[in-house]
Amino acid sequence: MLAEELAFAVETVRSAVKICRSVQGQIEVGKWDKGDRTPVTVADLAVQAVVSRGLQEQFPHDALMGEEGSEELRSPEYADLAAQVMSHVRTVRADATDPLIVTDWVERGQHAIDPNRRYWVLDPVDGTKGFLRKEQYAIALALVERGKILLGVLACPNLPTVLGTAESEVWGQLYAARLGGGAERIDLGRDDVVVRRSPLRVSTETEPAKLNWVERVESSDKNHDVTSQVVTAVGITNEPFRIDSQAKYAAVARGDAALYLRHSLSKTYIEKVWDHAAGVIVTEEAGGRVTDVNGKPLDVTAGRQLENNTGIVATNGRIHDRVLAAVREVLSRK
Ligand code: AMP
Ligand code: MG
């Protein structure tokens, strides 16, 4: 079931990886922190264009919920941006011959979603800050039907084979899962060719002193305080691995971490579907469990945001209830 869709998702995400590497290679370190976000915008738009066009060809009845809009590309003052996007798209698609055509491909990701039809969810470059720092980012594509995530593919082009190490020869991995069909890790080699496919399993660790955990790099409010109180209540003593993007889900799915905890204290921030859909199915199909901080399953039926959820708890399954109990205890003190 869904073999064709999964093959499409793997191939299109692999094309996206090529684009991201090429754009990231052009980043001048230090320039981004002066506010120039152009590189990540180029990568974001080019990836969305490629995925959107590929879908239109292979699954014309499926809609796309993409993070990016095409407003900038349409404005004359951004003609240079549109030209850059088109030239990157052209490296993987010969039919990207006009910036306006490419702009239309991007725009499909903003069309209204019919909740009764299946649709794809895309975060073209998740973890934009990590991308600009030349650290961790992900490309995340998932297929959703009537509130169920049917499949997901996550690319982590810079993720080291062992978390916390800096490896010189890392070509990245894809993580792919189908509902009820398990999850696999697909290692990329030079030129992003697939060199190995292996089944993905979460860790079986339950002993607090041995548990590793991951969380966001960015702390917009005091969310790192909350997460550290929760892990302390669980008895975890290890420091977190802080990484950008859905690479955090990959870390749980492949067993490097037993917990990914995300909590925004800001009442106004609502999580976006594209920041989670692919990561959730990869983690669950690897044997893990994902809920919000109140133990509710993630509800993707509310449109582009997870309106009915607060924060994220992704675990190896075995420690899930303990973590939820710790969250309850910590939040009741607030
Ligand atoms: P991460 O790399 O895990 O920090 O996630 C990056 C994503 O976080 C971005 O794509 C945003 O959609 C999302 N984001 C932005 N602001 C917040 C916030 N205050 N709390 C939680 N997530 C946020
Ligand atoms: Mg994102």
Q: How far apart are CA 209 and CA 214, in angstroms?
A: 15
**Same domain (yes/no): 19, 124:** yes
With a pLDDT cut of 90, the percent of the chain lying above it is 84
Q: How confident is residue 27, by pLDDT bands cut at 50, 70 and 90? A: confident
The pLDDT, as a whole number, for residue 215 is: 96
Structural domain of 144? 3-199
Kindly give the number of the ligand 1 atom that is closest to the alpha carbon of 221: 19
pLDDT tens column, 37-63: 888 899 999 999 999 999 999 999 999
Give the CATH number of the domain where residue 37 resides: 3.30.540.10
**Closest ligand to the CA of 218:** 1
Q: In angstroms, what is the span from residue 12 Cα to ligand 2's centroid?
A: 18
Please determine, for residue 264, whether its predicted confidence score (pLDDT) is greater than 80: no
**Same domain (yes/no): 284, 253:** yes
**Same domain (yes/no): 35, 165:** yes
Q: How far apart are CA 51 and CA 63, in angstroms?
A: 11
pLDDT tens column, 195-236: 999 999 999 999 999 999 999 998 766 778 889 999 999 999
Kindly give the number of the ligand 1 atom that is closest to the alpha carbon of 218: 4
Please determine, for residue 262, whether its predicted confidence score (pLDDT) is greater than 90: yes
Please count the structural domains in the chain.
Answer: 2
Last residue of a domain, which of 154, 177, 199?
A: 199
**Same domain (yes/no): 241, 103:** no
Q: In angstroms, what is the span from residue 264 Cα to ligand 1's centroid?
A: 9
**Same domain (yes/no): 214, 158:** no
Give every strand in the sheet of 138-145, ordered side by side: 63-66, 119-126, 138-145, 148-156, 173-178, 182-188, 194-199
pLDDT tens column, 1-15: 899 999 999 999 999
Buried b (16+ CB within 10 A) or exposed e, 265-288: eeeeeebbbbbbbbbbbbbbbbbb
Residues serving a catalytic function are 44, 128
Q: How far apart are CA 85 and CA 116, in angstroms?
A: 33
**Same domain (yes/no): 192, 248:** no
Q: How confident is residue 29, by pLDDT bands cut at 50, 70 and 90? A: low
Q: What is the pTM of this model?
A: 0.96
For atom 14 of ligand 1, the residue with the nearest CA is: 271
Q: In angstroms, what is the span from residue 124 Cα to ligand 2's centroid?
A: 8
**Same domain (yes/no): 124, 259:** no
For atom 17 of ligand 1, the residue with the nearest CA is: 269
Give the CATH number of the domain where residue 278 resides: 3.40.190.80
Last residue of a domain, which of 154, 175, 199?
A: 199
Q: How far apart are CA 313 and CA 326, in angstroms?
A: 11
**Same domain (yes/no): 99, 128:** yes
Residue range 111-119: average pLDDT?
A: 93
**Same domain (yes/no): 67, 151:** yes
Q: Is 242 in the pocket of ligand 1 (CB under 6 A)?
A: no
**Same domain (yes/no): 67, 9:** yes
**Same domain (yes/no): 17, 96:** yes
Residue range 257-276: average pLDDT?
A: 91
Residues 152 and 280 sit within 8 Å (Cβ to Cβ): yes
**Same domain (yes/no): 153, 236:** no
Last residue of a domain, which of 171, 199, 227?
A: 199
Q: In angstroms, what is the span from residue 272 Cα to ligand 2's centroid?
A: 8
